[in-house]
Structure 1
């Protein structure tokens, strides 16, 4: 089963992000039900490893998060593949990411080394943007680069299933793990 760990966005933040997406005239927009912050992409995993991960995550103790989205970014270098809303750097989020990576690895799932860049993917682009599309993307970045949400609370980590379909991926929440601080 193809899975990932992520953070869902509260409805008021989703509304703001959807309004921003209405202003993006280029690329394939991510459907609102797929908007999230990825913490760890697990790829295809057998059921027994996902069950081991569930056992690990059932013991998760981490404080709820206070996050905000601020600014836009592109990923893919000279040939952008993704337009995203960036998550403001947050020490608690970084600690949660590191703790989750450790729990994933303890369950027997191998993770590639990668830089953690928390974001919400807004739109995806094909292998090469045409000149007109590049100009539209630059206009979006200039005009909406100051995009910002109010600070919002995140109170759970979600294990999602990702099903690849011809029209794009479909995500389904499988299990939610509450964020609770460790008892004193």
Structure 2
């Protein structure tokens, strides 16, 4: 059973700037830069037939390329921090693309995603990092901001069940290039 998800890749130059955020946080297990991404929809462990249906359905996405920027660093987990991440600046194009992926996955028969979508790039998973240590880390690096980058495709990734952070394999890439709708005659 493959474990799959859809995502936007992080360009190498932006990934390089994210590496400057590494370090200075006890208990952090840093994600390798080649595994940085923005998840659109986690699909999970599915059988080969569902994976094929997902891949086929994604071919119908018809959206234009758009720009994104990373803006700030934060954490998930509150008093028991689980991870630190780079925020994605608000983008209607990203929100619309993610919502389309969610609708498609429900049409394939997957359960709706239970959590509110928070676009981000995971930088590290945390083990035994105190909320104070995380707060100190965020106060030093929270003002991070990347240069804008162009999103010209999204991908379908697969991964092996492991302890977070990859390696991820691009199974399919889907270019973003809006095609004008055909007019009825």
Asked if TM exceeds 0.5, the reply is yes
Secondary structure at the counterpart of residue 21 of structure 2: helix
- Please give the root-mean-square deviation of Cα atoms over the aligned residues, in Å: 1.8
- For the residues of structure 2 that align with 1:85 and 1:164, how far apart are their CA atoms? 24
Q: Show structure 1 runs of 5+ residues with no match.
A: none
Contact 1:67 1:153 survives alignment (8 Å): yes
Is 2:39 the counterpart of 1:42?
A: no
| Structure 1 residue 168, shift from structure 2 partner | 5.4
- In structure 1, the residue matched to 2:129 is 129
Structure 1 residues 124 and 33 mapped into 2: Cα distance closer, same or farther (>3 Å)? same
How far apart are the structure 2 equivalents of 1:153 and 1:23?
30
Whole-Å separation in 1 of the counterparts to 2:160 and 2:41: 16
Q: From the superposition, tell whether residues 31 and 106 of structure 1 become closer, same or farther in structure 2 (CA, over 3 Å).
A: same
Give the structure-2-normalised TM-score: 0.90
Q: Distance between the aligned counterparts of 1:166 and 1:90, measured in 2?
A: 30
What does 1:16-165 correspond to in 2, within 5 Å?
A: 16-22=17-23, 24=25, 26-126=27-127, 128-130=128-130, 134-165=131-162
Going from structure 1 to structure 2, the CA distance change for 1:55 and 1:121 (only over 3 Å counts) comes to same
Q: Give the CA deviation at 1:172.
A: 1.1
Which residue does 2:168 correspond to in 1? 171
* Structure 1 residue 56 displacement after superposition: 0.9
Instruction: Sort the Cα spacing of 1:51 and 1:111 in 2 relative to 1 into closer, same or farther, 3 A.
Output: same
Partner SS for 2:167: strand
Q: CA 1:82/1:175 → structure 2, altered by over 3 Å: closer, same or farther?
A: same
Does structure 2 conserve the Cα–Cα contact (< 8 Å) formed by 1:85 and 1:120? yes
Distance 2:40 2:165 in 1: 20
Whether contact under 8 Å (1:2, 1:161) holds in the other structure is yes
Pairwise CA distance, 1:182 = 3.4
Q: 1: CA distance between counterparts of 2:29 and 2:7?
A: 21
Deviation, structure 1 residue 24: 4.7
- The runs of 5 or more residues in structure 2 that have no matched partner are none
Q: Does the aligned pair in 2 maintain the 1:53–1:107 contact within 8 Å?
A: yes
**Could you tell me the TM-score, scaled by structure 1's length?**
0.90
CA–CA distance in 2 between the matches of 1:87 and 1:137? 19
Cα deviation 1:140-167 (Å, max 9, x = unaligned)? 2111111000111011111011212368
